[in-house]
Amino acid sequence: MRKELAKTYDPQGIEDRIYKNWEDKKYFHAEVDYSKKPFTIVIPPPNITGQLHMGHALDNTMQDILIRFKRMQGYNALWQPGTDHAAIATEVKVIDALKEQGIDKNDLGREGFLEKCWDWRKEYGTRIVNQLKKLGSSCDWDRERFTMDEGCSNAVQEVFIKMHEKGWIYKGSRIINWCPVCKTSISDAEVQYEDQAGHFWHIKYPLIEEDGSISKTRFLEFATTRPETMLGDTAVAVHPEDDRYKDVIGRKVWLPFVDRQIPIVADEYVDREFGTGVVKITPAHDPNDFEVGKRHHLPEINILNDDATINANGGKFVGMDRYECRKQIVKELNEMGLLVEIEDYSHNVGTHDRCGTTVEPMIKPQWFVKMDELIKPAVEGIKNGDIKLIPKRMEKTYFNWTDNIRDWCISRQLWWGHRIPAYTCDKCGEITVARQKPETCPCCGHDHLTQDPDTLDTWFSSALWPFSTLGWPEKTKELEYFYPTDVLVTGYDIIFFWVIRMIFSGYEQMGQKPFNTVLFHGLVRDALGRKMSKSLGNGIDPLEIIHEYGADALRMTLITGNAPGNDMRFYNERVIANRNFGNKVWNASRFIMMNMPEGQEAGPDMPGALNAEDKWILSRFNTVVKEVTENMERFELGIAVQKVYDFIWDEFCDWYIEMVKPRLYQSDDQASKDAALWTLQTVLIGSLKLLHPYMPFITEEIFTTIQSREETIMLSAWPVYREDFAFPHEEKGISMVKEAVRAVRNIRAERNVAPSRKAKIYVVSDSDEVLDTFREDEVFFKTLAFASDLELQKDKAGVPDGSISAVLPAETLYIPLADLLDVQAEIARLQKEEKRLQGELKRSAGMLSNEKFLAKAPAAKIEAEKEKQKQYEVQMEGVRKELEQLRSM
C-alpha cells in the first residue's frame, strides 16, 4: 500500500505518535563509542516543582536543535537530561501544600517532612519531563538524573570533603543575608534589590561629657533608614580627617533605650560629603558596619530573632516585630527630642528572590566556600578562550562578578537538600567532616556526635552537574568520553548562579573546563515586551501553544528573528505564521507525492538530462546547505533557519515548482519529466533535513511517507555540499533562470498596472528564454517553460529577436520587449547599477593597490578581492551592453 499524506497536517496526535516511536526505538540514546566523535550537552536541570514555561521552551528548543543537527552530522550526540531538587523552591511549595492540609512542617519532624518532599518529587518530578517531551526534546532519557540521586549526592559529598580538606570550605561567623520568612540564610546572588519608598530619619545621640554625664547641648547627628537597628549600635564613626569631629574621636555618645555608652571611632569608610559625616555602626546588622566593627574590635550585638522580631538585646522592645519597633523607636526618640527630622527617601532594599521578604543582614555561623583561589582558573579560562561565551559581551558581565566575588555562603537552614557532612561532638564541640558519621570524636573520644542540621545551597549540586551526571566521582567511561561537554545553553539571568559555579567547579574537580561554549539566550517577553510573570498573569503557556499549533510552530517561533542573548517578544501572530509555513511544506510535499509514480524514488545519482531550472534550484540548494551548516556551526540558529524558510517558500515553492509544472503536466519528454521529479524529491528531502532540527515532527512525518529507504529522518545524514550540484555560476541556463525570474516579475507588474489589457503575451530577452503561459481571458502569468521546450515553438512561431513572446499550445503571440518593460525605468535601474559597479571597481582597485592591504591581508582575502574585481568587470560589461540596447529601442 502506498503511503499518503493527509490533506491537511494536524499536529495533534501525530506529534505524540512520532515521539513515542522515537523513544521506543531508542533513537535518543547514546552509548560510549570511540569510533565516533562525541557531542554532548547537559540540560540545565529544571526544578521538580516547575511547570514548563516559555523560558524552558526556548532553552530546550535550542539544545534540541543543536543535538539533532550534530546527530545527523554523524556525531555521537548525547543530550544528558535531569532535574533539580531546587532546595528552597521545593521546600516552600511543600510547606504551602502541607499548610493547606493543616499540617505544620515542624510537627512532621525532619524525616516526616523529607518523606513528603520525596512524595512531591515523585508526583511532580515527571511532569516537567513529560512537558519537555511534548516539545520534542531528544534527550537520552535512559540517562536521566536528579541532583539528589545517589550518584549526584556522592559527588556533592566528595566535593565538600575535598574542599574542606583543602581549607576552601570553612565554617565561620560572618554577616549573611537572612530571610526572616524562610528562616534561612541566602547567598548574595539570591538577594534582589528593589527600589522602595522609605524615610531617612535624622537622629542625634548626646555626647558623653568629660565628667561622664550625658550632654544636653552637644550631639552627634546622623541619618538612618533603619532606626530600629540602633539597638545594636556599638559605635558611631566619622572620617579621620574630618575637622568637624576631630576633637570628639575617642570620646563616647549615649545610646538611648539600651542605655549604653558607645565610642566614636574614626574610619575611612565614612564619606565626609554625605549627610552630616557621621554614621552609626551596627556590626551585627550591616555588612559595611560589620567590617568597620572588625577593624575597631567593636562588639557585635544581634538584636533580632530568626523571625525578625526583637530579641532580649533590644531591652524593652523585646518581642516586637522589626517594623513595629521602628515606629515605636521613632515615636519615642521624638518625645525625647532626639529626632531631628524625617525625610522622604527612596532607596534600594534587599529582598529574597524567592519570597520577596526584606532580608536582614545577620551574623550567623555558616559554611562558606573560599572564592579567591577557586575563581582564578575560571577567570583565566574565559580570558584565554578555553571557554567561549556567546555573545561575547557576556564576558563583561562575567568578569564584573568574578572581580568582586565574595565567599559563597553555602549552608541553608532547610531540610530539603544535601545535608552537610559535618558532625559536632556533643561533648567538646569539635567538628568533624567525614563521609560517614564517626563512631567517636577524634578530639575527645566521646561517642556521641550530631550531624550539622543544615543543608547545602541548591547551586552547590548544580555546579557539579556537567560531571556528576556522567558518573563522577566514579571514573566512568562516560566521563572519559563525553567530558568536557560541548555546549551549555542557558539564559543570561543565570550566569552568576550557575554558569560561573560550574566553570570553577569543573576546573577544580575535573582539572578541565565543563564545556567549550556557553550559548546564552535572552528572556521571552510578552507581546508588550514585559517579563512574563505570575503576578502580571501575562504568561503564555507553551503547552497551550503546542496544543493549538503544534510543537514545530512553537519551536520555529522561538528561534526565528532572534539573536543570541537578546530578549524576544512572543505573540500569536508569529506562531500562526510559522504554523502556516508548516502547512506550506506539507502541501509542497503533497504536490510532489501526487506527481510521483509509485515506486519512483529519487536515488542519489543525478540524472543526465537536467533542465536549466533543475540546475538552478540544485545549485541554490547547494549554497543553502553550505550556508546553513556554517551558520549552525556558529550557533546562529535564527539566521540559519531563516535561510531554510526563505529557500523553501520562495525559491523552491514559488519559483521552482511553478516552473516545473508544465513539464509534469504537458510534456511528452519522459527524460525531462524524470529529471524534474528527481530534482523535486532531492531538493525537498534535503530541505526537510535542513529543517528537521527546527521542526522535527512534520519533517519526520513527511520523510517517512515520501521515501522508504530510511526509517527516520532524525538519524539520516545531514546534507553536505555536493560538487556535482555546483554548476558553474555563469552556466547559461542558470543565469537565464535568473533573468527569467526578473522578466516575469516585470511582466506581472505590468499586468497589475494595466489589468484591463488583454494582450496575450510573453517571454523574455533576446537570448534564450522563458515563457509564461496564461489563460485566454486575462493576462495571467503563472507558469514558465524553458528554453528546451521553447526553442522548438519559437522557431515555429517565428518570434523575432529582441522581443518577448508568449507561447500557447496553439498559438504564439508576442509583443515587443519595450511594451512589457518600462524602458525608462529599466534604463534608470541600469544606470544606478552602472554607478554602483563603478564604485565597486574603484574600491577594488583602491584596495588592490593599497600596499598596507596587500602586505597585511591574508592571501585568501586578496584572491577574493581579485575575483570580485573580475566579476564586477564582467557585470559592468553586461550592464553597458544592455543599456546600449535599451537606449536604441
Q: Given candidates 393, 446, 880, 887, which one binds RNA under the rule CB under 7 A?
A: 393
* DSSP symbol at 450: E
Beta bridge partners of 431: 424
Which residue stretch of 125-133, 322-330, 467-475, 555-563 sits at the interface with RNA (rule: CB under 7 A)?
555-563
Q: Which of 240, 484, 539, 561 binds RNA (CB under 7 A)?
A: 561
Q: How far is the CB of 858 from RNA (least distance, A)?
A: 11
Contact 168, 373 (CB under 8 A): yes
Nearest to 396 by CA among 565, 523, 633: 565
User: Among 118, 257, 649, 727, which residue sits at the site for RNA (rule: CB under 7 A)?
Assistant: 649
Q: Name the minimum Å distance from CB 367 to RNA.
A: 20
Q: Does 667 bind RNA (CB under 7 A)?
A: no
Rounded to a whole number of angstroms, the minimum distance from the CB of residue 433 to RNA is 29
**Looking at beta carbons only, is 427 or 626 nearer to RNA?**
626
Smallest gap from residue 674 Cβ to RNA (A):
17
The count of residues interacting with RNA (CB under 7 A) is 85
3 scored as a contact of RNA (CB under 7 A)? no
Taking the complex as a whole, the smallest distance from the CB of residue 470 to RNA amounts, in Å, to 30
Nearer to RNA by Cβ, of 84 and 286: the residue is: 286
Task: Report how far residue 622's alpha carbon sits from residue 633's, in angstroms, rounded to the nearest whole number.
Answer: 17
State which of positions 240-269 bind RNA (CB under 7 A): 269
Please pick, from the candidates 34, 99, 110, 665, the single residue that binds RNA as defined by CB under 7 A. Answer: 665
Give the β-pairing of 408-409 and 360-369: antiparallel
What is the secondary structure of 203-255 as a DSSP string?
EEEEEEPTTSPEEEEEEEEEEES-GGGGGG--EEEE-TT-TTTGGGTT-EEEE
434 Cα distance to chain centroid: 39
Residue from 224, 468, 629, 812 binding RNA (CB under 7 A): 224
φ, ψ for residue 40, nearest 5 deg = -125, 135
Q: Rule CB under 7 A: which of 487-546 touch RNA?
A: 493, 496, 529
Q: Using CB under 7 A, which of 646, 710, 776, 863 touches RNA?
A: 646
For residue 356, state whether it binds RNA (rule: CB under 7 A).
no
Q: According to CB under 7 A, which residues from 564 to 593 bind RNA?
A: 566-569, 571, 573-574, 576-577, 579-580, 582-584, 587-588, 590-591
**Residues in Cβ contact with 330 at an 8 Å cutoff, skipping those fewer than 6 apart:** 201, 227, 339, 342
Contact 142, 29 (CB under 8 A): yes
Dihedral sign from CA coordinates of 222, 226, 232, 238: negative
CB 477 within 8 A of CB 483: no
Min dist CB 91 to RNA, Å, is: 23
847 touching RNA, by CB under 7 A: yes
226 binds RNA (CB under 7 A): yes
In angstroms, what is the minimal distance from the CB of 549 to RNA?
9
Instruction: Give 435 or 775: the residue with its C-beta nearer to RNA.
Output: 775
Q: Please state whether beta strands 169-179 and 145-146 pair in parallel, antiparallel, or not at all (unpaired).
A: unpaired
In DSSP notation, 326-370 reads: HHHHHHHHHHHT-EEEEEEEEEEEEEETTT-PBPEEEEEEEEEE-
The CA distance from 302 to 304, in Å, is 6
Q: Is 755 in the site for RNA (CB under 7 A)?
A: yes
Nearer to RNA, 606 or 847 (CB): 847
Site residues for RNA, 186-215, by CB under 7 A, read: 188-189, 192-193
476 to 495, contacts with RNA by CB under 7 A? Answer: 493
Query: Do 771 and 762 contact (CB within 8 A), yes or no?
Result: yes
Nearest-5° Cα angle at 587, 621 to 131: 90
* Minimum CB–partner distance for residue 497 and RNA (Å): 9
- Closer residue to RNA in complex, CB, 127/748: 748
Is 625 exposed, middle or buried, given 0-12, 13-18 or 19+ CB atoms closer than 10 A?
buried
DSSP secondary structure string for all residues of 723-773? GGG---TT-HHHHHHHHHHHHHHHHHHHHHHSTT---------SSS--EE-
> In the bound complex, what is the minimum distance in angstroms from residue 508's beta carbon to RNA?
22
- Torsion, Cα 210 214 216 222, to 10 degrees, reads 100
**Which residue, 440 or 580, is less far from RNA as judged by CB?**
580
Closest distance between RNA and the C-beta of residue 744, in Å? 7
Q: Which stretch binds RNA (CB under 7 A): 75-83, 87-95, 213-221, 745-753?
A: 745-753
Q: How far is the CB of 871 from RNA (least distance, A)?
A: 11
Instruction: Show the CA angle centred on residue 470, arms to residues 469 and 474, nearest 5°.
Output: 110
What residues between 271 and 310 interact with RNA by CB under 7 A?
A: 271, 274-275, 277, 279-280, 286-288
Shortest distance, CB of residue 397 to RNA, whole angstroms? 6
Beta strands 515-521 and 214-224: pairing type? unpaired
With CB under 7 A as the contact rule, the residue among 448, 839, 870, 874 that binds RNA is 839
H or E element, residue 42? strand 38-42
Q: Should residue 876 be labelled a site residue for RNA when binding is judged by CB under 7 A?
A: no
Which of 316, 832, 856, 866 is the binder for RNA (CB under 7 A)? 832
Among 563, 792, 874, 889, binds RNA (CB under 7 A): 563
Q: Could you tell me which stretch among 30-38, 505-513, 695-703, 833-841 binds RNA (CB under 7 A)?
A: 833-841
Binders in 394-433 for RNA, by CB under 7 A:
396-397, 400-401, 404
Q: What span, in angstroms and rounded, lies between the C-alpha atoms of 669 and 889?
A: 38
* Cross-strand partners of 79: 41
Residues 60-99, one symbol each (x = binds RNA by CB under 7 A, - = not), give ----------------------------------------
Q: What is the distance between the alpha carbons of residues 493 and 189, in angstroms, rounded to a whole number?
A: 11
Least CB distance to RNA at residue 569 (A) = 4
Q: Which of residues 326-355 bind RNA (CB under 7 A)?
A: 347-348
CB of 526 to RNA, least distance (A): 10
Q: Give the integer Cα–Cα distance in Å for 528 and 530.
A: 6
